[in-house]
Amino acid sequence: MWHDLWVALALLLVIEGIWPFINPDGMRRMMAAIAQQESRSLRVSGFISMLCGVALLYLVN
């Protein structure tokens, strides 16, 4: 189980690193736009992202 958790974390880091590696200027613009959003909209988008992740985990397993 721990091995799977470490593999998932490693894949997360690889996937998260693709965007800033390919397009660092676009990443800066995106982060600036996110910084200007309201907390509520960020919270809702985070919740939707978590629900999608849980649904995907359910489908995969």
Supply 57's token pair.
């985990």
In a domain, 59, yes or no: yes
- Which residues are CB-neighbours of 27 under 8 A, at least 6 positions away? 19, 20
Query: What residue type is assigned to position 32 of the chain?
Result: A
Domain count, the chain: 1
- Give the tens place of pLDDT for each residue, 12-50: 999 999 999 999 999 999 999 999 999 999 999 999 999
The pTM for the full model equals: 0.70
User: Residue 36 belongs to what domain range?
Assistant: 23-61
The confidence score (pLDDT) of residue 1 equals 85
The confidence score (pLDDT) of residue 23 equals 96
Q: What are the helix (H) ranges across the chain? A: 2-22, 24-35, 39-60
| Residue the block writes with tokens 């489908």 | 59
At residue 61 the predicted structure's pLDDT band, cuts being 50, 70 and 90, is confident
